[in-house]
Structure 1
Amino acid sequence: MKLKNTLGLAIGTLIAATSFGALAQGQGAVEGELNYGKKYNDSVNNVEDGYTPGASIGYFLTDDVSLNFTYNNDDYTRSNNNTGNQKIEGDQFGLNAQYHFNNAGDALRPYVQGGVKHGSLTNVAADGHTGRDQSTFLTAGAGLKYYFLENVYARAGVEADYKLDNGRWDYIPSVGLGVNFGGGNKPAAAPVPAPEVCSDSDNDGVCDNVDKCPDTPANVTVDADGCPAVAEVVRVELDVKFDFDKSVVKPNSYGDIKNLADFMKQYPSTTTTVEGHTDSVGPDAYNQKLSERRANAVKQVLTNQYGVESSRVQSVGYGESRPVADNKTEAGRAVNRRVEAQVEAQAK
């Protein structure tokens, strides 16, 4: 009854934790888990294989590495000699480190682990003494976590425990259910409103949405009257969106890039810097490289496709460091997967 009450309280705690708002599988996150395993015993004489319910709590030191405190109960292990199925009780406390593969936020995260356990187990009466034996184990294991919700996962794995006292092994395949909460989300910058620009829906080279300055070119930043925002300065801005984890320029972005190229040809003294960005999914170092590839892809279209001199176009990647929308939502992440550029010139 005591064990059932304890498990019920723990399960209730896990369910309640799913309501937390700051959810992630990366650095700073906390994971709690309930688990149940089959224990194949070889380290203790005269004891049958048994079952070992348990729980763990872990903290992610990085996006991939967590440090975990574990507890397992061996109450379901019984002796296999002629003592009338004597009940054997035990407790094990452990500390291990897990290394997770794939990226924080992925549904599937394989892992490997290693650590140490200290166990306390009642003796088998037939062995000639009573009390509890104390033992220390080195542990190693591997498995897979499946995050079927953003912060709830199921786990399956196997662990091998090496008993330092006698050099023998126990093997424990297990399953678990856990929650992940409380860290890893990088602060999202407040969305930056896009400047009002001239629209030219009928492609006649004249702004449709203004009454003044009708000769303002398309895609130039304008003020409330539709005139260039800075006196005698005209500007073209570029915002190219990318699919998740891709650096290929989509066909629907070529027209916008061509507008920028045409503007630079109209003002041959201009230069520009093409800036690449990503959302927050994945490691920082990977996102930095991805943003650089995106920026370079847009530069190649400008120079190779539309003939802007390469010396007039620089490319730079900022990774995930400059979000303009909330990375906690899919819509926000889609906005952040972008390449931006702008060109200013003195109006003729």
Structure 2
Amino acid sequence: MKKYLLLVLVPALLLGMLQKAEAGVLAESFSVSPYVGGYSFIDKDRLETGPTFGIRGGYNFTTHFGLEAAFGYIPTEGKANSGIGDADVFSYHLDALYHFMPDGPLVPYLAAGYGGNSREYEGGGDVSRSTVNYGVGVKYFLREAMALRGDVRHLISRDVGETFHNFEYTVGLDFLFGGVKPAAVAAQPAEEPSLEPVPAAEPTPGHYKYCVTLHGEFDIDKAQVRPENKDEIAIVGNFMKKYPTTTAVIEGHTDNVGSPEYNLDLSKRRAQAVVNYLAENYGIDRSRLEARGYGLARPVEPNTTDEGRQANRRIEAIIDCAFD
């Protein structure tokens, strides 16, 4: 038995030392778990404890809950004076697993399931029984998508009015395939210094200072200028045509629906849409315009209501003032 355990544990530990990684159970992932261990037949079965070899295959619906099918082989023999001889036992069951602390690296779990076992005796008289099982286990993730696993089960079966108890204790490896990785907390874009226009000196008596602002909202997941915003953009376009030394920084913003990376790109596209509109419809030189995106970093309203999210899907502008 020790030889079989070493065949599993030594390569696993070496791999873990080579590449340690933060890991855990992934939702919507498949698992394959080869294992070795021991299997004990209690009292009435009159069979000796033997080694067990098998494989488990499962699917994790969430990080906490999964289903797993198991198949194991136990070569054994009858106890002294039982007259049984050699026996081959096959165990198979479908189990539900509940993982605690699934983010790892140490993930304990509970298991329970239903299945059966079949026994082929050297002298004939093969037997098949249904079984229920329950137990506990632990997975220790050595690296991403690979864990060392230990498992203990109590298996209960009935036959001709009698109850039989068996125990299985195994170690093995758990390999994960696919799955949905937790969304990384994306760093918010660094605050860029606002290109606030240099305040112009107050005009001398008889002169006037003219300023203009821009604010517009966008549809969900869109970067097209709304028709109702074109009148306000026209004010900016006409203002910049009249005062050709003025410049403008167009800032795009989003609500919190979607990933931070996607929203950052969407906000840049919204700002660029306004820059393009001013350049194409009012002839404003693009060197006087700059588009910036801030994604979901600067909400003006809480994103907890439709109205708040609509207010955050917007563009704003920083525009120079001009003197007559």
Structure 2 length as normaliser, TM-score?
0.54
- Matched residue count: 216
1:313 equivalent to 2:289? Answer: yes
- Aligned residue among 232, 248, 268 for 1:256: 232
- Find the counterpart in structure 2 of residue 73 from structure 1: 111
- The separation in 2 between residues aligned to 1:57 and 1:329, in whole angstroms, is 34
- Find the counterpart in structure 1 of residue 139 from structure 2: 94
- Find the counterpart in structure 2 of residue 51 from structure 1: 94
1:285 equivalent to 2:321? Answer: no
Structure 1's unaligned 5+ residue stretches are 1-31, 61-65, 100-112, 146-179, 188-230
Structure 1 residues 57-136: aligned runs within 5 Å: 57=100, 69=107, 71-81=109-119, 82=127, 85=130, 87-94=132-139, 115-122=147-154, 131-136=167-172
More strand by percentage: 2
String of CA shifts for 1:276-298, please: whole Å, max 9, x gaps: 11222333333222222111111
- Aligned residue among 294, 301, 304 for 1:325: 301
- Find the counterpart in structure 2 of residue 138 from structure 1: 174
CA contact 2:98–2:111 (8 Å) conserved in 1: no
1:265 equivalent to 2:241? Answer: yes
- The separation in 2 between residues aligned to 1:266 and 1:95, in whole angstroms, is 70
- Find the counterpart in structure 2 of residue 343 from structure 1: 319
1:250, CA displacement in angstroms? 2.2
RMSD over aligned CA atoms reads: 4.1
String of CA shifts for 1:10-32, please: whole Å, max 9, x gaps: xxxxxxxxxxxxxxxxxxxxxx8
- The separation in 2 between residues aligned to 1:329 and 1:116, in whole angstroms, is 46
Which structure is larger by alpha-carbon Rg, 1 or 2? 2
1:41 equivalent to 2:41? Answer: no
CA contact 1:233–1:347 (8 Å) conserved in 2: yes
Amino acid at match of 2:70: N
CA contact 2:97–2:112 (8 Å) conserved in 1: no
Structure 2's unaligned 5+ residue stretches are 1-61, 75-88, 120-126, 158-164, 189-206
CA contact 1:273–1:316 (8 Å) conserved in 2: yes
Amino acid at match of 2:97: G
1:130, CA displacement in angstroms? 6.3
CA change 1:34–1:346 in 2 (3 A) is closer
- The separation in 1 between residues aligned to 2:132 and 2:90, in whole angstroms, is 10
CA change 1:320–1:144 in 2 (3 A) is closer
1:135, CA displacement in angstroms? 1.7
Structure 1 length as normaliser, TM-score?
0.50
